[in-house]
Homo-oligomer: A and B are copies of this chain.
Amino acid sequence: MTTPSHKALVPFVSVDNMMRLVHSIGIETMLRDLAEYVEADFKRWELFDKTPRVASHSDVGVIELMPTSDGEAYGFKYVNGHPKNTSEGLQTVTAFGLLADVYTGYPVLFTEMTMLTALRTAATSAMAAKYLAPKGADTMAMIGNGAQSEFQTLAMKAICGLKTVRLFDKDPAATEKCARNLGAFGLNVVRCSSPEEAIEGAQILTTCTADKQNATILTDNMIGAGVHINAIGGDCPGKTELAAGILNRSDVFVEFPPQTRIEGEIQQMPEDFAVTELWEVISGQKQGRRDDKQITLFDSVGFAIEDFSALRYIRDHIKGTEFFIDLDMLADPDDPRDLFGMLQRSDA
């Protein structure tokens, strides 16, 4: 066996190690820290290399690569979306990602991202709510109680001071699971039997349902003045959650317009439907919430820069820990021109 040099080794964070890292940091602390990393990258949004995601579609799902770079580091995420997987005991979405050094092209981190994507999505939602939700908002309706719901709730608690969450899912078992999982976090958790009941008294309305169809989880007459809507579930062509009437009454904030116009709630609207880019609010160039009556809507589909922030966070926080192993991923001959000699000598 050849012993690879340190240059050939790339730190790998497994699912198990990612979970251990979360527990060692504390999930609420980690969500807060992640939100700060995402916020920092939104502030310097303009310097990123923004490629639309590269998608490979089939009849049953999609596989996507989401690359971006800030000129110093390069990151990408592999993510699939297969709604039919759940019925076969598999995850709808799995993901992994990689960070590399732009100067050498060498990878510096390889990590699971199924768990990490749930965390960064929640952190991004809460970071947006910090700028867009009405002052003093402490109650959220959580409509759709699937895999993302607990992460969303805890991020709103850690970052926006949420005290009460009102749960609804068309499947009561999902609500029960979500309420049980949230039991230990000191939140007031209310199980509701309809979307109408869930939104009572809530200043933040989060929709995160999984059906791949144009659904209407929230209708126009349900939405009163002054709320913030955090729409997570409309994230691919043909999949929306909100009535178009709501969009017409809201100020809509998005990540990357070319992507959101295809995948987000605003796919229902004309191509010139006015939106504000969230980074412009974060960097102080545009106003977020204007007054108490305004309906704000974060039409979130997820963007590569959020994954990049999460990869940076993991790179910075595994240093000196035991939460990774080194993978011998890169061939590293003593003489770079002698790859073949390296192969021959390995047979000794």
Binding site for B on A (CB under 8 A): 1-2, 4, 7-8, 12, 14-16, 19-20, 22-23, 27, 49, 51, 54, 56, 58, 60-63, 65, 67, 69, 71, 74, 76, 78, 80-82, 85-86, 88-92, 94, 96, 98, 100, 102-107, 112, 114-115, 118, 145-151, 174, 177, 180-181, 184, 327-333, 335-344, 346-347
Give the shortest distance, in Å, between A342 (CB) and chain B (any CB): 8
With A16-B2, A328-B16: A115-B339 Cβ-Cβ less than 8 Å: yes
Give the shortest distance, in Å, between A98 (CB) and chain B (any CB): 7
Copies in the complex: 2
| Measured CA separation A4–B115 after assembly (Å) | 14
Residue from the set A20, A56, A96, A106 with the largest chain B CB neighbour count within 10 Å: A56
| Measured CA separation A331–B119 after assembly (Å) | 13
| Measured CA separation A165–B339 after assembly (Å) | 19
Q: By the criterion CB–CB under 8 Å, are A58 and B329 in contact?
A: no
Q: By the criterion CB–CB under 8 Å, are B23 and A346 in contact?
A: yes
Q: By the criterion CB–CB under 8 Å, are B65 and A67 in contact?
A: yes
Which B residue's beta carbon lies closest to that of A19? Answer: B346
With A15-B4, A340-B150: A177-B335 Cβ-Cβ less than 8 Å: yes
With A85-B105, A346-B23: A100-B80 Cβ-Cβ less than 8 Å: yes
